[in-house]
Structure 1
Amino acid sequence: MSVVERGPAVARAVSPPVPARRQSPSPAKTVVVIAPLWLTIALGLWGIRRQNTMWGDESITCQLAHRDLSQIWHTAQHVDLVHALYYAVMHEIFGLFGGGLLTLRLPSVLAMSVAASGVGLLGLRLAGPRAGLLAGLVFPLLPQVQKYAQEGRSYAMVCALVTWATYALLVSVPHRARWRWAVYGSTMLLACLLHEFAVLALVAHGVTLVVSRLPRPVLRAWSVAAAGIVAGLLPLAIRSAAQSEQVSWIGGPVRLQYFLVVAVMGVACARAPLAVRGPVRLSALAVPILVLPGLLLLITSLVRPLFVDRYVLYSNIGIALLLGAWMDYFHRRQRSSRTAWIAAVAVLAALVQPSLSLRTPQSRSNDATAIGAAVREEGRPGDGLLYLPGQHRTLTAANPEDTRFLTDLALAQDPVSSNTLAGTELPARDIAARMLEFDRIVAVRAVGVNSPTNLQEEAKTSTLRRYFREYGTTHVNGARVTVYVRDDVPPPKAGPRANSPGASGGVTR
């Protein structure tokens, strides 16, 4: 054979292999990701301003995120260390987009939208495209999800991270690649650093793997990742334990009814023969993450009350998956879809009223905007200002103009310079002496909260009782704003607003 004849054969022998073309996402997968995302964004933007009001915890986010990073860190050494990372994230967001109400809440809307897409993908992987789409669409309709999607706190971000950590866990099970487990571990650790009760989802993941009877190498890989997560969280947990007074306001389980209802509903759905795809059954993943975190908090509450529904917001992943899979099962079982459509319309109609109420100021336990407005309305330039208790000074800090012309009688050092949330207060004797220098005092009294018993608070109440009389009280969501006048001062003449309604309630004289 000549050289010319051998040429093509040689060329074929040394030609590089053609790289395999990556498969594009299937249309079903695209819909499962996009549809829940946009539904959650739409619901999150609907009424996001809540009539331009802000509640107390959001006010704290706003105040701390406006401090620089060093001040946030120094404040966290005294109080609220568990939220320090979230405040740092919001500080950077405020620096880029400004510190308005939309900037405060939009990160939660986007985080919850990402969580909804993750729920859809979980359902797709566990039970098929239709179950995934239904689960992803159910998730943003849940009242608790709608509520915290519009809140300037860390819980929506934690929910998104736990959702995608759960998806990373499912992806890691069949492949067993170390980098996949590293992704799972780092995502879960970040969720725990944003709020340490996210570690309860780690317990649920472990139960899922055990009941699924997966091979020992998988359990070993998860154990290594879990150990890394706990080790990374441990310093924060130890330091924040010294700030346990931050949860002293929890007198018992807060909004326990929602958790009990969805837990019972989820367990009932899990009894149906749901679709199964892969080594992990949907019920084996969804039931533990729905039930275990809340149950563990309830058990802990037998020693110290810690159960608050938003601490385990991510448990809604479980109920969304179970409802989506149950509706898929119901659709497959019914020959006609008419019944399914009627049921869907009935559920949507039932959700209208809760969805509307969640977008009102009254849907939160207090209204910092209304409290500040009531102080501004009732106070006169030169009046004294008193907080009962002092820790609730944060309720009027969102808008400094509300208290600009009043004198804070108990304040020794302001919150920023003292690296605290509410500042530091004078000794009891000095507070009483300053109170007696004023003829009128505007007192802000938080309601529904156990007031601490200390010398400063006793001095405030006893001085008011002995030397002042109540002139009028404005009731607002979460507080009472009361004007006191000295007993030896003639009562002021009733002005035009003596009998006018307050910012969010009535005025009594």
Structure 2
Amino acid sequence: MVTGIQLDRAPLWRDELATWSAASRPVDDLLRLVGNIDAVNGAYYLVMHAWIAVFGDSVLALRLPSTLAMAGAAALTTLLGARLFGPRVGLLGGLLLAVLPSTSRYGQEARPYALVTLLAVLATLLLVRALHRPAPLRWLGYAAAVAGLGLANLFAVSLLAGHAIAVLLCWRERRDRTPVRWWLGAVGAAELVLVPLAVLGRSQQGRQLDWVGRPGAGDLLGLPGSVVQAGIVGGLLFGLAAVGAVSRGRWGAAVGLTVALPALLLFVAGQLTPLFVPRYLVFVVPFGCLLAACVLAPLRLGAALAIVLAAGVLGAPEQAALRRTHESPRTAPIDYPAAVDIIAAHRQPGDGIVYAPRDGWAFLDLATAYHLRVNRPRDVLLAEDQVRRADLWATECPRPDQCLASVDRLWLLIRGEHADPLAGMPASRADPLRAGFRTDRHWTVPGLTVALLTRR
């Protein structure tokens, strides 16, 4: 599968560092963390905690669960397509999903989006089977899949809007209300698990998504490219999907609404609360692939495969870029390993280190902790670390001048590339450093500045 190529080449980015920080804590500390922030990812962190205990926390190990999940999603997409529209649609839909940039992007990330995609396809396949041949165990499996989907990403439960259409179509065809009752019961059972998480997550939303703006019409129109991670490929995929939705009758329309309704719900919700994050919609991509495959399936197999290959070729530049960095935009990478390597090469016993910023999403301290496990310079401004705070951020010393008095050599790790390292720091931190230290050397690497200061 394309996703497995150069799986560990791109450095961990800030969201993955948050995963590592959370999942590597003892379970009681992890539970305290999700009580304060990131509760919506708590189940994923627990899964990753167990995974790390067995397989370690290398870049490869952290990302492998997502790669396996995306492989599973492609396989289940093939099965779902075969069940709904025939074997050729299933085959082409699974292949199309496999070559998309978004499949590689989120299949190479230590975050829950690949798992969400897998569970979305699994839940839909279980629904189709339960509707075709109802049985309590099948509906129980569907309820479990929906609960797992919500635990992995609460917004992904918007998939149920499309599922509701499918259930209503089934009732209309058979004039039997039993599937409707079973479906409502299964969804109700899943909600028993998800409602408490939704309440807790809502209380944390303002802090967790404070960087998210209100979407405009351009954001809505750009969703295909944003979700698929390549504008031309997203346009091709969802253009074909739109044709497939209107050409495959009621069930084509139902699958089309499974794609369209979550997107519209995300856009509308984004007008009311910070929520509009395009990657939250990655779970609809397999259904778009199946609808696109409905258009390709009547063609000769060679021609259909050529179009799938063309989609892969068109996405090749993004495939290459995402293997260099997971940052957005790709033209602004942040090379944490290179910065830490500089510190490791020149550090001396007794050195201290200061990070700027400390309260944002750069997670410079987490990057240093991950890449420099031993003989790390002492965090001289640290007052209370992330584990004690049950948070993703540490608390710094309120009197920097006093805390800096214990070191004669000091490293600075600063976000951004600065000719004057102290220019990248707030005055409350820069002023005592200017007064007590001089800059001996500084280096810039993509996205970061490293400086070595010695006492005057």
Paired AA for residue 387 in structure 1: Y
Q: Secondary structure at the match of 2:25?
A: coil
Q: Secondary structure at the match of 1:243?
A: helix
Query: Hey, what does 1:123 align to over in structure 2?
Result: 81
Query: Does residue 1:361 correspond to 2:332, yes or no?
Result: no
Q: Distance in 2 between matches of 1:475 and 1:362?
A: 19
* Count of residues in Structure 1 that have an aligned counterpart in Structure 2: 427
Query: Does residue 1:99 correspond to 2:57, yes or no?
Result: yes
Query: Hey, what does 1:507 align to over in structure 2?
Result: none
Query: Hey, what does 1:73 align to over in structure 2?
Result: 31
Q: In the alignment, is the contact (CA less than 8 A) between 2:69 and 2:118 conserved in 1?
A: yes
Q: In the alignment, is the contact (CA less than 8 A) between 1:182 and 1:225 conserved in 2?
A: yes
Q: CA deviation at 1:169?
A: 1.0
With 381-390 and 228-237 compared, the bigger mean Cα shift is at 381-390
Paired AA for residue 74 in structure 1: R
Q: 1:292 to 1:465 in 2, by over 3 A?
A: farther
Q: Distance in 1 between matches of 2:109 and 2:62?
A: 8
Runs of at least 5 residues in structure 2 that lack an aligned partner in the other structure: 418-424
Query: Hey, what does 1:325 align to over in structure 2?
Result: 294
Query: Does residue 1:227 correspond to 2:188, yes or no?
Result: yes
With 410-419 and 152-161 compared, the bigger mean Cα shift is at 410-419
Query: Hey, what does 2:121 align to over in structure 1?
Result: 163
Q: 1:125 to 1:394 in 2, by over 3 A?
A: same
Paired AA for residue 140 in structure 1: A
Query: Does residue 1:459 correspond to 2:428, yes or no?
Result: yes
Q: Distance in 2 between matches of 1:273 and 1:464?
A: 62
- State the percentage of identical aligned residues: 29
Query: Does residue 1:45 correspond to 2:35, yes or no?
Result: no
Query: Hey, what does 2:368 align to over in structure 1?
Result: 396
Q: 1:291 to 1:460 in 2, by over 3 A?
A: farther
Paired AA for residue 258 in structure 1: S
Query: Hey, what does 1:258 align to over in structure 2?
Result: 226
Q: In the alignment, is the contact (CA less than 8 A) between 1:123 and 1:135 conserved in 2?
A: yes
Q: 1:442 to 1:249 in 2, by over 3 A?
A: farther
Q: CA deviation at 1:139?
A: 0.8
Q: 1:87 to 1:357 in 2, by over 3 A?
A: same
Runs of at least 5 residues in structure 1 that lack an aligned partner in the other structure: 1-39, 332-336, 449-455, 490-509
Q: Distance in 2 between matches of 1:362 and 1:184?
A: 33
Q: Distance in 2 between matches of 1:46 and 1:56?
A: 21
* CA deviation map 1:455-484 (0-9, x unaligned): x96622454567666665544444433445
Larger relative helix fraction:
2
Q: Secondary structure at the match of 1:67?
A: coil
Query: Hey, what does 2:202 align to over in structure 1?
Result: 241
Q: CA deviation at 1:328?
A: 0.5
Q: CA deviation at 1:417?
A: 3.6
Q: Distance in 1 between matches of 2:447 and 2:276?
A: 20
**Larger relative contact order (Cα-Cα within 8 Å, sequence gap ≥ 6):** 2
TM-score w.r.t. structure 1 length? 0.74
Q: Distance in 1 between matches of 2:258 and 2:159?
A: 6
Q: 1:407 to 1:269 in 2, by over 3 A?
A: closer
Q: Distance in 2 between matches of 1:242 and 1:379?
A: 42
Q: CA deviation at 1:293?
A: 2.2
Q: 1:192 to 1:447 in 2, by over 3 A?
A: farther
Q: In the alignment, is the contact (CA less than 8 A) between 2:95 and 2:308 conserved in 1?
A: no
Tell me which of 271, 279, 286 is aligned to 1:310: 279
Q: In the alignment, is the contact (CA less than 8 A) between 2:240 and 2:291 conserved in 1?
A: no
Paired AA for residue 49 in structure 1: D
* CA deviation map 1:85-143 (0-9, x unaligned): 11211222222233333221221111111111111111111111111110011111111
Q: Distance in 2 between matches of 1:197 and 1:447?
A: 33
Q: CA deviation at 1:157?
A: 1.2
Q: In the alignment, is the contact (CA less than 8 A) between 1:263 and 1:291 conserved in 2?
A: no
Q: In the alignment, is the contact (CA less than 8 A) between 1:119 and 1:321 conserved in 2?
A: yes
Query: Does residue 1:205 correspond to 2:169, yes or no?
Result: no
Q: 1:482 to 1:315 in 2, by over 3 A?
A: farther
Paired AA for residue 134 in structure 1: L
RMSD: 3.2
TM-score w.r.t. structure 2 length? 0.82
Q: Distance in 2 between matches of 1:273 and 1:412?
A: 57
Q: CA deviation at 1:69?
A: 1.6
Q: 1:382 to 1:249 in 2, by over 3 A?
A: farther
Q: Distance in 1 between matches of 2:13 and 2:442?
A: 21
Query: Hey, what does 1:284 align to over in structure 2?
Result: 254
Q: CA deviation at 1:274?
A: 7.3
Q: In the alignment, is the contact (CA less than 8 A) between 1:135 and 1:323 conserved in 2?
A: yes
Q: Secondary structure at the match of 1:298?
A: helix
Q: CA deviation at 1:268?
A: 4.8
Q: In the alignment, is the contact (CA less than 8 A) between 1:357 and 1:363 conserved in 2?
A: no
Q: 1:267 to 1:221 in 2, by over 3 A?
A: farther
Q: Secondary structure at the match of 1:443?
A: strand
Q: Secondary structure at the match of 2:341?
A: helix
With 362-371 and 302-311 compared, the bigger mean Cα shift is at 362-371
Q: 1:342 to 1:83 in 2, by over 3 A?
A: closer
Paired AA for residue 382 in structure 2: L
* CA deviation map 1:334-358 (0-9, x unaligned): xxx6654654443343233322222
Q: CA deviation at 1:305?
A: 3.1
